[in-house]
Structure 1
Amino acid sequence: MNKTCIIGTRGSDLALWQANYVKDRLAEHGISAELKIIKTQGDHIQHLRLDKLEGKGFFTKELEEELLSGKIDLAVHSHKDLPTVNPPGLKIAAVSEREDPSELLIVLKDCVDLKKRLSLKHNAIVGTSSNRRKAQLLSFRPDLEIEDLRGNVNTRLQKLRDEQYDAIMLAKAGVERLQLDLSAFHVEVIPPNEIIPAPAQGVLAIQIRENDEELDTLLQQIHQPDVAETIRVERNVLNLFEGGCHMPLGCYCRKSEFGYEVWTAKAKNGEGFPSRLYLKSDRTEGLAEKILAKFSIDRKLPSSVFITRELSESSYLKRSLAQHHIAVEARSLIKIFPIINTLDPYILKYVRWVFFSSKNGIENFFRLQPRLSKHVQYAVVGRGSEEALRSHGIVPAFTGEAEGIEMEKVGDAFAKVAAGSTVLFPRAKGSLKTIQSRLSTDTKVIDLPVYETRIDDHVERSGAEVLIFTSPTNVEAYFKDNLIEPGQHIISIGNSTGKKLEEMGLPYSLPFSPDEVGLAEAVFGIDNTNRRTSERGGSAETVTSLL
């Protein structure tokens, strides 16, 4: 290409970074380019909430008009800002690599409360202009006050510095691209399977005229087809829901060894409790349509759930089931007994990591009032254990939730960070030692049984359509006197519980994450008309061969 390409971009620091990024990638392939700054409707109107702006594409329309008129050769967009359908005559020729699509919760340091989920004090004021973020934040912390926040990234951060808010939420990708200094704040990184991002969050879209074949061919040199494959699912979901930027919809697809995994969250509005779904498939074709079908108002969900754990009124799972009018019966089938009363100070002296695999392990360990070095770091198996640890004012340095439900993978990930140190494992007597078995030979393990479980002598059966088991001992307790009834669907909170069910020849489902959010996703993924299909969070994965 002999001429210099004209790249159209908005004028914010982030937009300019994005345009210059594309310019640099083109230069690597011998294509020269220069930038043209164009103001959009979204830049001009700063006093209205995003969902009050008319139509779709209020951050992109003017760039597209310049492109159609031939005044620029290509436009660089944050892909998540684009309408799902291109204007006639335009197309997306290439997409960038995907930056981390996680969210950042950026908190004033005097508004931090480590005992609370997300480290935010009670009734904190959080700034965000996104209904998607608002609905998901309130599902975790209904006490929060959400207020509108507009402006570019630096403007939003300045509003936080000026204490107009206690915290704000931003996309991690934008903050990292600008290399902003956030040392004045407390920052919580929220992974994309916890607060589910906007479709195509973290990806840049390069838009050109449909008939510009020469530029299209050149752009294939920087196009990322694997990224395009996953965000196509997310964008198709958005399109099928006929949603725009203001819709409280999150969708995140990734490729893993399990195939394509997709998380979706959708609420009726910013105040509504979002329904969440986890699906996986070995191909992307038809996946968006499957997700849409799961969210159909005509789909029949289970009417009742039994779980072998007591639930508080503020429980995420209980509130998730309530919005679908699903009756819940929650009762533990086991009793917990502490088995030690003191800790040997000599043992604690050399500990550098403490790994918790259960809430009971946490409560029974801290009951002993351990005196550990301030340099000790804490690890937990998942979000449920993290929440219990936070109640003691401790934020874990490692959370296995990002690895999903596969304990071997959690163990392998933890082995890398704990290599060569001494790790203490407060646990139940007789529990599995999967994590311990994955550690390197130069890592010293201290096993510390701090409690034991005993089953109730007689457990009444439940007629609920879904049975959720939260430990192997609860499985033993229930099926000592009871049988599974026709049509009942079993969900196991994790692999060790699942292995106990397998020993009994019982089919079951696994959620992605071993916590109440994962359980809510798994229940929502069950069709009442097809309850005997065993699924991992709603996907068509057979867990046992007895179906």
Structure 2
Amino acid sequence: MNRVITIGTRGSELALWQANYIKDRLAEINVQAQLKIIKTQGDNILNLRLDKLEGKGFFTKELEEHLLDGSIDLAVHSHKDLPTVNPPGLMIAAVSDREDPSEVILILKDCVDSSKKLSVKHNGIVGTSSNRRQSQLLAVRPDLEFENLRGNVNTRIQKLRDEKYDAIIMAKAGISRLNLDLSEFYIEEIEPTAEMVPAPAQGVLAVQIRESDTALYQVLQQIHNATVAEQIGVERKVLNLFDGGCHMPLGCYCKQDEEGVFHVWTTKADNQNDFPDRLYVNAPTSEGLAEHILQKFDVANRKLPKKVFISRELSEHSYFARALSKHNIEIDARSLIRTVPTIHKLDSYVFKQVDWVFFSSKNGIEYFFSLDPLLPKDVKFGVVGRGSEDALRALGKTVSFIGESSDTAEISEEFAAVANGSTVLFPLAKDSLRSIRKSLSEDTKIIELVIYETILEEDVEPTYADVLVFTSPSNVDAYFADNLLEPGQQIVAIGKSTGQKFDEMGVKYILPASPDEIGLAEVVFGIDV
């Protein structure tokens, strides 16, 4: 292409980075480009919450007008800011690679409480203008307070420096692109499948052009990421089908695994203070996936379970209990096992050279620390599941590795990647599975410490719940020693180790995406009875 392409962009530092990124990508394919800065209505209106502006054209309208009148050739947008329908005459010709779509919480260091989930102090004030972020944060931290936060990335960070908030939450992509020094803050990252599902298309840039500019369209296919386009196409279609715009407390994140299976997490609330519904689904194709997700959220026209059994005790404040109570689902929560300690004193010399301590359960954490172990100051902790992370946080411990998959084989491989060649202590139950240690290399020193024993309860009462959730293999053994599965009852196994029990029985079961209460809530919400 011989002509010089004019790129329209907003004037913020992040917008300029994004425009220059596309300019550089064009240069790689020998296409010259220049920037033209355009002020938008969203840059001028600073008194409204950001989520009231996103998706309504406040950050895009003027850029699109310049495209239509021919004064620019293309516009670069943060894809999540765009309405799901293009103005007549315009199209998205290319999308970028996807930056990490995680969220980050920046916390003033004197407002950190590492014993709390997400590390913000009790009753902390968090700056955000996103209904989506607020609803999800309140679901895991109902004590937090929220204040409006507007401005570009640097302006928001300066407001935190000025102590207008105790913490602020932002997209990791924007911070990463600007390569900012944030060492003065405590930073907590929230992965897109954990407590915070990102906005549709978060971390992706959209290149918008005139539909009539077929020559430029063909050129842009050389920098277009078709794989990302298919994934965010699911997310954007979910947003479009809900017809709520970006002010809706809606998060949607789609990714493909190595086998090509699409995995989608969706969260939706009625407003920023409403407890959100969360759903996880997977499918071999993206076709019809958004429509399927929409149908699952139409709770008025489908039958959710009336009663759910879960093989653990729950507090009224548990995420799982609140997620089910929102839909008046009765909960039969009772553990079918009890545990007793097997040792009452430790020889501390054993732990002097330990690099890692790995826990597979909250019981292991409780019994281990009740023994007052003396550990090296630089010891690292690994866990299976966010529930175990929370248990360690409550003891003031920082977790360096969290296994979030329901497949212990995957967790084993991920842990081996960071722990091979070190010394790892495994506090565990008598006769427990040794799943996590299987991928560790021969030069890794393994110390096993049996600290408690699991005892199955006898004469377990049956449940007539629609859904039975089992949280350990021992609970499966205890229940089915005395009971049979009733017709129509559906089974959820928290992980593959628990699921193996049902494989042996020839019983079908559902696995959550993550072995924690959020993962279990996602599964139960998706079940029709």
Q: TM-score under structure 1 normalisation?
A: 0.95
Return the letter of the residue paired with 2:319. Y
SS where residue 399 of structure 2 aligns? coil
* Residues 1:124 and 2:124 aligned together: yes
Cα pair distance change 1:347/1:284, threshold 3 Å: same
After superposition, residues 118-197 of structure 1 pair within 5 angstroms as 118-194=118-194, 195-197=196-198
8 A Cα contact 2:112 2:120, kept in partner: yes
CA distance in 1, matches of 2:50, 2:352: 54
8 A Cα contact 2:55 2:246, kept in partner: no
CA distance in 2, matches of 1:406, 1:39: 49
Return the letter of the residue paired with 1:437. K
RMSD of aligned C-alpha atoms? Answer: 1.0
Deviations 1:100-131 (CA, angstroms, capped at 9, x unpaired): 00000111111111111001111110011000
CA distance in 2, matches of 1:54, 1:151: 13
Q: Which residue of 2 aligns with 1:524?
A: 525
Q: Which residue of 2 aligns with 1:32?
A: 32
CA distance in 2, matches of 1:497, 1:55: 43
Q: Which residue of 1 aligns with 2:506?
A: 505
Q: Which residue of 1 aligns with 2:484?
A: 483
Equivalenced residues, count: 526
Return the letter of the residue paired with 2:524. V
* Residues 1:43 and 2:46 aligned together: no
After superposition, residues 4-403 of structure 1 pair within 5 angstroms as 4-53=4-53, 56-194=56-194, 195-257=196-258, 259-296=261-298, 297-401=300-404
Deviations 1:104-162 (CA, angstroms, capped at 9, x unpaired): 01111111111110011111100110000000000000110011110001000000011
8 A Cα contact 2:54 2:246, kept in partner: no
After superposition, residues 369-518 of structure 1 pair within 5 angstroms as 369-401=372-404, 404-518=405-519
Return the letter of the residue paired with 2:193. N
> How far off its partner does 1:419 sit?
1.3
> How far off its partner does 1:333 sit?
0.9
Gaps in structure 2 of 5+ consecutive residues: none
Q: Which deviates the most, 453-462 or 51-60? A: 51-60
8 A Cα contact 2:263 2:281, kept in partner: yes
CA distance in 2, matches of 1:51, 1:457: 54
Gaps in structure 1 of 5+ consecutive residues: 529-547
CA distance in 2, matches of 1:151, 1:459: 58
CA distance in 1, matches of 2:53, 2:472: 49
> How far off its partner does 1:55 sit?
7.5
SS where residue 301 of structure 2 aligns? coil
Return the letter of the residue paired with 1:101. P
Deviations 1:158-202 (CA, angstroms, capped at 9, x unpaired): 000111100000000000000011100110110001110000000
Cα pair distance change 1:388/1:465, threshold 3 Å: same
CA distance in 1, matches of 2:81, 2:101: 14
Return the letter of the residue paired with 1:116. K
> How far off its partner does 1:53 sit?
4.7
SS where residue 397 of structure 1 aligns? strand
SS where residue 133 of structure 1 aligns? helix
Q: Which residue of 2 aligns with 1:537?
A: none
Q: Which residue of 2 aligns with 1:540?
A: none
Return the letter of the residue paired with 1:236. K
CA distance in 2, matches of 1:53, 1:158: 22
Return the letter of the residue paired with 1:34. Q
CA distance in 1, matches of 2:398, 2:319: 20
SS where residue 36 of structure 2 aligns? strand
> How far off its partner does 1:52 sit?
4.4
SS where residue 247 of structure 1 aligns? coil
